[in-house]
Amino acid sequence: MSALGKVVRSGVGRRRVQTVVIGLVVMIAVTAAVLGGSLMVASHAPFDRAFDQQQGAHLTAQFDAGKTTAAQLSASAHATGVTAAAGPFQTAVITPATNRGGPEGPIMVVGRADPGGSVDAVTLTKGRWVTGRGEIVLQTDLRLPQVFQPKPGDVLRLPDLPGSPTLTVVGTARSVSETAGGWVVPEQASTLTAAGAVGGYQMLYRFATAGTTAQVDADRAAVQASVPSGALAGTRSWLTTRINAGGNTVLFVPFLIAFGVLGVAMAILIIGNVIAGAVSTGTHRIGILKALGFTPDQVVRAYTVQALIPAVAGAALGVLAGNVLIVPILSQTNEVYGTNDSGVSPWVNVVVVAGALALVAATDWAAASRAGRLRTVEVLAVGRTPGPGRGHWAARLAARLPLPRPVTLGLAHPFARVLRSATIIAAIAFGAAAATFAVGLGSSLNQVQATESHGEVVVVSGKPESGPPPGGGPQVAAGPPPAPDPAAVVAAITAQSGTSGYSGVASTDVTAAGVTDPLEALAFTGDNSAYGYRMVSGTWFTKPGEIVVAAPFLTATHTKVGDTIVLTDHSTQITVRIVGEVFNIENRGMQILTAAATFAAAEPDLRAREYNISLKPGTDAASYVSGLNAALSAVDATAMTVEHDSDELILIINALTTLLTLMLVTVAALGVLNMVVLETRERVHDLGVHKALGMTPRQTVAMVIASVVVTGLIGGAIGAPIGVLLQRTIIGEMGRSVGFNLPASVINIYHAAELVLFGLGGLCIAVIGALLPAGWAARTRTATALRTE
Amino acid sequence: MSMPVIELREVSRRYDGGPPALDGVSLTIRAGEAVAILGPSGSGKSTLLNLVAGLDRPSSGEVTVDGVRVDRLGEAGSARFRRAKIGMVFQFFNLLDDLTVADNVMLPAQLAGMARAAAQRRAGELLSTLGINRHARAYPGRLSGGERQRVAVARALMNRPALLLADEPTGALDTASGEDVGQLLNELHADGQTIVLVTHDLVLAESCATRTVQLVDGRVAADTAAEPVR
């Protein structure tokens, strides 16, 4: 083995702690970078990627079956500009009722034998594709609450069709192009058209150029020209779908990108920190090598290879861990974005590993080059106990503190090597900032979700089905029940022990000046309408004629809090005043919240269909519901507890937060460990002197731990506020990017006491990092330490 | 005859299976003696000193110092033992460069739990006695070799040890400073301090020691076994 090889081998073997630290740090950093990079890739233009993955339809065209034939439509696939087409598929519009409430309203059903094809390759999310009559696959609709998401096994009854036939949901699927609300086998589609109604056909087209509205319009004109006049009943451009889809997912994109950036940034900073520290540890050894005749180039090569050996091992393990951990996360981003990402993109793995190793090599090269360029005597002088004059003021000051002497000795250590202490502070500050940021991000997301809760108990219209029907068939409902008698429901609620407050919620459609589409208005009765809503500015409504809206409404109507606006309800114009801006993501922020009496003139019969109830502290919700249902026995209404289960995305983001936080804290602690090992090694002779003078192992541990207290506290004090600042800035920007102003409860999630805790977290990181070298220092034999020079 | 302070019985010490650094050494040193351990490099002088100070453990045999079986002590126990019983002076002083002279001297007492004010008083007395009180607030790096060794002696005496161990105390000093330190050791011995001195310096041994023990290859080759001083 060459001399260089021996130096590398001994460097790796003898500096085991450092070798392990480099390996671990690179592993964790690469894992974080793979996770972060994959999240960034997954969150980059998710609609466009999903559209490409599914070969989405640039134009979804609906044809009147009475004015064209399937053959003519097949021929339209050769229209100018068409590069691929699917169809014709027979269509029908059904209005089902389910055994679980929604979905309500008409659904367009398409007869398709299989989900694949050259256009609109539909992705099955649950269950299987239809294989025969009586089966349906429903489009996954993320806008619906989890409880209303269709599930395999649900049964749709079609009361509008003769004999009220049923369709069993055998699967759910996602078409990014939103070409249908459901799919049945082709032979079923024709049976779903009501008697006397004319059926339809659907064609799906992809075009050579469809990037702009004008191009899609031209493509549509070409298709229209290829079929009989009047046959084209309607079209939907992929550009329209893309705009609408953005609203569904865009709220999550900044969150996930923030996590991604956090992972990558952590990887870069920590690798740089640890490697620079590792070379610094070996500076004295470099001096010896140079004294023995090693050239600066040989020194640089030896130290670069020495760091790369554990780094390569760490990178390999990190890639493996990242690829395993990303699987459940990608399944969730697929759910949210409609994408089909199955794993880490190969280029992410390559870039991350290459980047990490390049970073290790570059940092090592820079640090070793610096040491290599120094004159040998200077290098030999480096890495010894700090010379006189450094940090003496701190030592004198610490000596006066009324603390045990080993503690005051340790407290003064950081001031003897200010640059190294700054590096430790940087590692701790970064760990504290990242942990504060990550936890804050997760908490904010939870707060966003909390705004969707408006009570612990809800009373809804209708009674639950009682037991299976004769013959054991599936349960079916008869359709949406009418709104219950408000007086009876309110009387039952107010009489029930444990009621803290309630609000009755009626819904109606109105139009507002400046907005073309109808808007949903929620009309409240009761004393607790504001429950769960978070105000951004202004106040909750207190009387009829006052409304509360979200930022998108204000933007769309060019109004602000304090302005008046005219609403039209059933042709009656109502002038209302906007008294507050609320954070409300329902209907993309276009929902209007007001007192029911606002619509008294326009809709005197408007009745609440739902009652949200908040309970007094200590009230058992289940018992309450049981009692209330007994009281409602004569009313066509049912009370039930509100499930506050987080949806899976929130859970996965929380898990990701925890994982990243643990990784950040671990890596920061490893950074501290590396530095304290270095510090302890350099002070080993002094340590021997202390022990010779009677310092016990416990006192030695106390001294080493105390040596990181100051740096830990400073790092925490710097890191925690930075983390909060980052969290507030990014959360605020995230809301603004989707047109919302976020309420203080979502942005300002940290209280002063919690901030202090996160600041102290820096101290914990430092202490954890110092424990191992402290134990090593305590175990070092005094005679050995005294011999060390 | 005064009480034994150090009793070594058949003490051997081997390092990593090599030849013994000490080989069956038995030795008794009584209170008030000033013993010089002499011998060539590798004869086991420093090993013997380390075993007596509890800095190292024998491979076999018994080491008793002032009634304490040092060879049975753990790390914490030997640290407490050194605080209470031993003062050490090293060839290269082993002063802590980032502490003032006074803080260096006070350190053993503070590690033993003495309050800072009391430690300051005691350090002041010692520094005055040794004639270096004017350097109390200075850092060791600014002192001459002789002055540093005086500081080291003051630190060694801080806890009023039963035994002062000096490992080549003049080895790093010029002749004048070496004589100065020799004189200091004589004065301490005259005041009743038991001293064990490891040295190559025969002049120092003759001037300071009442008894000399010659080690060769880890064995006691000669012991003047001088009459007890008192």
Strands A610-615 and A534-538: unpaired
The Cα A302–Cα A297 span in angstroms is 8
pLDDT at residue B64 is higher than 90:
yes
Give residue A546's pLDDT.
Answer: 94
| Residue B13 with chain A: CB contacts under 8 Å | none
Q: If you search the block for the tokens 């304090």, which residue do you land on?
A: A562
CB-CB under 8 Å, B110 with A392: no
B112 Cβ under 8 Å from any chain A Cβ: yes
Query: Which residue in A386, A406, A691 is closest to B98 by CB distance?
Result: A386
**By the CB < 8 Å criterion, does B16 face chain A?**
no
Q: How far is CA A739 from CA A142, A588, A619, A724, in A?
A: 19, 9, 38, 22
> Model confidence over A213-251: pLDDT tens digits?
888 888 888 888 888 888 887 788 888 777 666 544 555
- The answer to whether A313 and A413 have CB atoms below 8 angstroms apart is no
Q: What is the pTM of this model?
A: 0.67
Give the model confidence (pLDDT) of A411-421 as tens digits: 998 888 887 78
Distance CA A168, CA A786 (A): 82
Distance CA A444, CA A733 (A): 13
* Distance between CA atoms of residues A699 and B76, nearest Å: 9
Domain ranges (residues) in chain A:
1-46+243-383, 59-209, 386-452+648-789, 459-464+480-641
Nearest-by-Cβ selection for A388 from B88, B90, B141: B141
Report the CATH number at residue B152: 3.40.50.300
Q: Which residue among A386, A692, A697 places its CB closest to the CB of B75?
A: A697
pLDDT digits (tens, 9 = 90+) for A133-162: 888 888 876 544 444 566 788 788 777 777
Which among A389, A686, A691 is the nearest to B96, CB-wise?
A: A686
**Nearest CB partner across the interface for B76, out of A399, A688, A696:** A696
For residue A11, pLDDT over 90 is answered with no
Q: Is the residue at B229 inside a domain?
A: no
First to last CA, chain A: 29
A494: closest CA among A541, A459, A460?
A: A459
Using a CB–CB cut-off of 8 Å, the residues of A that contact B are 385-392, 395-396, 399-400, 405-406, 412, 416, 685-686, 688-699, 778-779, 781-783, 786
Distance between CA B30 and CA A68 in Å, rounded? 123
Q: What per-residue confidence (pLDDT) applies to A256? A: 62
Share of chain B residues as helix, strand and coil, in percent rounded to the nearest 5: 40, 25, 35
Q: Is A692 within 8 Å of B155 when comparing Cβ atoms? A: no
pLDDT for residue A380: 56
Contact A386 B108 (CB under 8 A): no
Contact at CB, A387 and B97, closer than 8 angstroms? yes
- Give the domain extent around B107: 4-223
Distance from CA of B48 to the nearest CA of A (A): 12
> How many residue pairs bridge chain A and chain B with CB atoms within 8 Å of each other?
91
The better pLDDT of the pair A522, A638 is held by A522
Task: Evaluate whether A559 touches A578 at the Cβ level (below 8 Å).
Answer: yes
Q: Is the pLDDT of residue B10 over 80?
A: yes
Is residue A564 within a helix (H) or strand (E), and if so which, with residue range?
strand A564-569
Region B212-228: mean pLDDT is 82
Contacts of A265 (CB under 8 A, 6+ apart): none
Residue B228 lies in a domain: no
DSSP states of A214-274 as a string? Answer: HHHHHHHHHHHHHS-TT-EEEEEEHHHHHHHHHHHHTTTHHHHHHHHHHHHHHHHHHHHHH
For residue A387, which residues of chain B lie inside 8 Å, CB to CB? Answer: 97, 141
Q: Which residues of chain B lie closer than 8 angstroms to A393, CB-CB? A: none
Write out the two tokens for A772. Answer: 């191992």
- How would residue B66 be classed by pLDDT, with cut points 50, 70 and 90? very high
Backbone angles phi, psi at A166, to 5 degrees: -120, 155
For an interface test with B, give the residue of A397, A411, A687, A693 to mutate (most B CBs within 10 A). A693
Which residues does A544 contact at the CB level (< 8 Å), separation at least 6?
A594, A595, A597, A598, A600
Name the band, by pLDDT with cuts 50, 70 and 90, for residue A479: very low
Q: What is the mean pLDDT of chain A?
A: 80
Q: What is the pLDDT of residues A496-533, one digit of tens each?
A: 888 889 999 998 888 887 776 678 899 998 887 777 88
ipTM of the complex: 0.84
Assign A470 a pLDDT band (cuts: 50, 70, 90).
very low
Q: Which residues of A touch B88 (CB under 8 A)?
A: 692-693
CA B97 – CA B188 distance, rounded (Å):
26
Distance between CA atoms of A193 and A160, rounded to whole angstroms? 10
Q: Do B111 and A778 touch (CB under 8 A)?
A: no
pLDDT given at position A478:
38
Length of chain A: 789
Give yes or no for B96 touching A (CB within 8 A): yes
**Per-residue confidence (pLDDT) for residue A143, from 0 to 100:** 45
Contact yes or no for A362/A70 (Cβ under 8 A): no
Q: Which amino acid is residue A410, in one-letter code?
A: G
- In angstroms, the CA A244 to CA A602 distance is 31
Per residue in B179-208, pLDDT (tens digit) is: 888 888 898 999 899 999 998 888 888 888
| Residues A680-707 pLDDT 10s | 877 888 888 999 898 999 999 999 999 9
pLDDT of residue B229: 37
Q: Report whether the peptide linkage leading into residue B20 is cis, meaning its omega lies within 30 degrees of zero.
A: no
Is the minimum CB–CB distance between B53 and chain A shorter than 8 Å?
Answer: yes
Candidates B51, B76, B49; CA nearest to B63 is B51
CA distances to A62, A91, A114, A158, A170 from A193, rounded to whole Å, are 15, 8, 21, 11, 21
Helix or strand run (H / E) with residue B81? helix B75-85
pLDDT tens per residue across span A290-344: 666 777 777 788 778 878 888 899 999 999 988 888 887 777 767 666 677 777 7
| More confident: A394 or A106 | A394
Position B230 in a domain: no
d(Cα B1, Cα B229) in Å, to the nearest integer?
A: 9
- Choose among B50, B98, B108: nearest Cβ to A392: B98
Q: Is B93 on the interface with A (CB under 8 A)?
A: no
Q: Over pLDDT 90: what percentage of chain A?
A: 11
